[in-house]
């Protein structure tokens, strides 16, 4: 039994490694070095995106869009969509990922959504780790997210934002929003 678990662990590590290599192979993009702040909304067009993206900044008929709510820059994220950013964090500085998560104000009024899972995952040369994972409901208030990135100082990483439905859930009215997502240098 123990050797089977060991083999499974080796296979998982190999799959993560292959995904990391395939993601980076043939790409002319370099990792973006962060010195003070990295605004994920400003860099939306530089992200690797999965999901339908609009031709304009309009959340209708798409799964991912850059939008503004009450003057705040946001990322609209319908289930089964993700954004991935290739970045490098200097080893001599401390950084934190900050955002608030919740539903678009219009969708909060609907009674059709059964919620959406919002996650942040980091991939680096040594594997991947989900650093934030929360199921968000339309009735919930905004949830503030603040995650130290100390473990990734001096490393190239891929930071990904995901919106997903749990098994058996539907995507009706799941207008999830990342409010002002940024990586900020701690003072």
Q: Is the pTM of this model over 0.85?
A: no
Cα-Cα-Cα-Cα dihedral sign, residues 59, 71, 81, 171: negative
Structure confidence by residue, pLDDT tens digits, 114-169? 889 999 999 998 889 999 999 999 898 999 999 999 999 889 999 999 998 888 88
pLDDT grade for 22, boundaries at 50, 70 and 90 = very low
Sequence-distant (≥ 6) Cβ neighbours of residue 166 within 8 angstroms = 117, 135
Give the rounded distance of the alpha carbon of 72 from its chain centre.
Answer: 18
Cα-Cα-Cα-Cα dihedral sign, residues 95, 137, 65, 158: positive
Predicted local confidence at residue 149, as pLDDT? 93
* Rounded mean pLDDT, 28-51: 80
The DSSP annotation for 55-106 comes to SSS--TT-SEEEEEETTEEEEEE-SSEEEEEEEE--TTS-EEEEEEEEE-HH
Predicted local confidence at residue 28, as pLDDT? 39
Average pLDDT taken over every residue of the chain:
81
pLDDT grade for 100, boundaries at 50, 70 and 90 = very high
- Least confident segment among 52-56, 115-119, 171-175: 52-56
- 29-185 homologous superfamily: NPCBM/NEW2 domain (2.60.120.1060)
Please report which helix (H) or strand (E) contains residue 22, including its range: helix 2-24
Tell me: pLDDT of 8 over 90: no
């Amino acid at each position: 039994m123990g050797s089977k678990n060991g083999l499974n662990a080796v296979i998982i590590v190999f799959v993560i490694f292959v995904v990391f290599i395939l993601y980076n192979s043939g790409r002319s993009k370099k990792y973006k070095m962060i010195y003070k702040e990295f605004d994920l909304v400003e860099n939306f067009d530089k992200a690797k995106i999965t999901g339908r993206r609009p031709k304009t900044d309009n959340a209708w008929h798409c799964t991912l869009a850059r939008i503004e709510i009450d003057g705040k820059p946001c990322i609209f994220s319908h289930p089964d969509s993700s954004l991935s950013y290739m970045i490098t964090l200097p080893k001599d500085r401390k950084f934190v990922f900050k955002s608030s998560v919740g539903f678009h104000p219009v969708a909060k009024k609907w009674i059709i959504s059964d919620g959406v899972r919002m996650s942040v995952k980091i991939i680096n040369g040594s594997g991947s780790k989900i650093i934030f994972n929360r199921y968000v409901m339309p009735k919930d208030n905004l949830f503030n997210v603040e995650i130290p990135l100390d473990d990734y100082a001096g490393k190239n990483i891929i930071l990904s934002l995901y919106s997903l439905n749990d098994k058996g859930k539907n995507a009706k009215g799941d207008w999830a929003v990342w409010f002002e997502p940024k990586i900020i240098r701690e003072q």
